Amino acid sequence: MDSLQDLWQCKYRDNRRFQPAAPGQKYETIRISAPHGGDDDPEVQEVSRPESDLTRLFEDEPNSSYSTLSLIHIIRTDDLVIKVSEGVFAQLLQKMQADPCVLYMLCTDYDGFHHYHRDGVFTGYIGMPSFVLLWASQCNKSSVTTRALLLHRRRSPFSDFRNILRTFPRYIDSPYLLALVSILHMIYIFDQETASDLEKVRHIEVRTGYGPSGITEIKTLNVDSLSVWSQIIGALQVVFANKRRTLRIWEGLHDLISQDGGDGYSGGKGSTRKLLEMVPVLHRHVDAYREYLEYLNDRAGKLSDVMFALMTHEDANTNLRLVEEAKRDSSSMKTIAMMTMAFLPGTFMAALFAVPSLQWGQPTVVQGNFWVYWAITIPGTVVVFLIWGGIIHREMAWSLWRSVVVRKNSRDHYT
């Protein structure tokens, strides 16, 4: 295990990317402290701190009289640059005492739920579509000290995550609390996004006339609209696949908590048992959502098939229109050819009367050199037709030429 941790640390050093905080930049933090025993309410502190003050939040040593949970929200860009100084981030990880294995998960942007146990410290890592959560819980006989980092991937999840976390301040002495809060946040966000995705599917169903309510009205649609809708449905199917993949995080967490049963960490036995009461409810909720997601994905897939058929139909109609246009163009070309032919006799006669070898004002009209006109005109006309025929039937001419060459070479070989 130590060798693997050393390897992950090397990979982390090779792939880490940081950006120092901008002047005046603040980081959102939350700290919850709950006395062990008694009826005192937990204390919740929410403070925006400068970068220089972040490490102080993680300086609390484990205390037998109360449990603490400290969380820092750090911004991360789309290209995985963590917007905090590398030195400050290293100090935070050191104070967390997190297992080095999570460093590789962090720098390579892993998804899923991963956990490690080492020297009385539970280290958890969750990679969600909207954020990465890394935490380490130090457990003793009567309390738990948890330090966590929340790095967002797209829109900031901190506000919603914080609101859910504030609902469970009495359970901070369970190392699994942040994992369950992540699942609740996932359900909350997925329900919102799925409602929006459903509206998109319904909109396309109404416009195309195909949906679970049956065919309402067969409509004529243009290829441009069908192409845009097809792109939307394709993107939704990718989103649905990513959601199905993310739901496996719940399966890993469910297995871990169920196996622990509230007895794995003495400091958080009571809270973990209370959190276990939520597990069956969440399990049913996730199962119901998974089934609905499968249904919505199938629905989108069928709609995609319908749009493909409609696009094929529109392509066929377009081809028919092109054929009709070609016919009209052919008729126009015939008309032009006939008009040209109408002028050819007159043009020929005009050219003939203009030939110098024909002197219409002389007693002898046909001069002695009139034969030159025909000697040039007739061969020239033949050459033009030969070139035209060669272009039209060039493959046949080339094949005939090759056969003549082959026969000639054969005769030369046998003579």
Q: Would you say residue 366 lies in a domain?
A: no
- pLDDT tens digits for range 220-278: 677 778 888 888 998 999 999 999 988 888 888 888 887 765 554 544 567 778 888 88
CATH of residue 39's domain is 3.30.460
Do 125 and 212 lie in a common domain?
Answer: no
Question: Are 204 and 320 in a shared domain?
Answer: yes
Q: Are residues 80 and 215 both part of a single domain?
A: no
Residue 164, in any domain of the structure? yes
Co-location of 6 and 152 in the same domain: yes
Q: Is residue 391 part of a domain?
A: no
SS3 letters for the chain? CHHHHHHHHHHHHHHCCECCCCCCCEEEEEEEEEECCCCCCCEEEEEEEEHHHHHHHCCCCCECCEEEEEEEEECECCCCCECCCHHHHHHHHHHHCCCCHHHHHHHCCCCEEEEEEECCEEEEEEECCCEEEEEEEEECCCCEEEEEEEEECCCCCHHHHHHHHCCCHHHCCCCCHHHHHHHHHHHHHHHHHHHHHHHHHHHHHHHHCCCCCCCCCCCCCCHHHHHHHHHHHHHHHHHHHHHHHHCHHHHHHHHHHHHHCCCCCHHHHHHHHHHHCCHHHHHHHHHHHHHHHHHHHHHHHHHHHHHHHHHHHHHHHHHHHHHHHHHHHHHHHHHHHHHHHHHHHHHHHHHHHCCCCECCCCCCCECCCHHHHHHHHHHHHHHHHHHHHHHHCHHHHHHHHHHHHHHHHHHHHHC
| Kind of pairing between the strands at 112-118 and 121-127 | antiparallel
**Residue range of the domain that includes 215:** 174-332
In a domain, 42, yes or no: yes
Of 125, 154, 173, the residue at which a domain comes to its end is: 173
Tell me which range, 20-24, 66-70, 212-216, 379-383, is most confidently predicted by mean pLDDT.
Answer: 66-70
Place of tokens 């809060």: 181
Domain termination residue (choose one: 173, 190, 222): 173
Round the average pLDDT of the chain to a whole number and report it: 80
pLDDT digits (tens, 9 = 90+) for 52-109: 899 898 887 766 678 889 999 998 887 778 888 888 888 898 898 888 888 888 878 8
- Does 411 or 128 have the greater pLDDT score? 128
pLDDT exceeds cutoff 80 at 214: no
Residue 89 lies in a domain: yes
pLDDT at 266: 45
- 315 shares a domain with 218: yes
Does residue 188 share a domain with residue 309? yes
Note the pTM of the prediction, 2 decimals. 0.71
Same-domain check for residues 140 and 151: yes
Number of domains in the chain: 2
Verify that 111 and 202 share a domain, yes or no. no
Residue 365 lies inside a defined structural domain of this protein: no
Question: Is residue 351, in this structure, part of any structural domain at all?
Answer: no
What integer pLDDT is reported at residue 178 of this predicted model? Answer: 92
Task: Examine the domain organization and report whether 257 and 299 are in the same domain.
Answer: yes
Q: Which of 149, 173, 197 is the last residue of a domain?
A: 173
On the question of pLDDT at 148 being above 90, the answer is: yes
Does residue 221 share a domain with residue 150?
no
Tell me whether residue 104 is in a domain. Answer: yes
Looking at the structure, tell me whether residues 36 and 149 fall in a common domain: yes
Same domain for 36 and 146: yes
- In this predicted structure, the answer to whether residue 4 has a pLDDT above a threshold of 60 is no
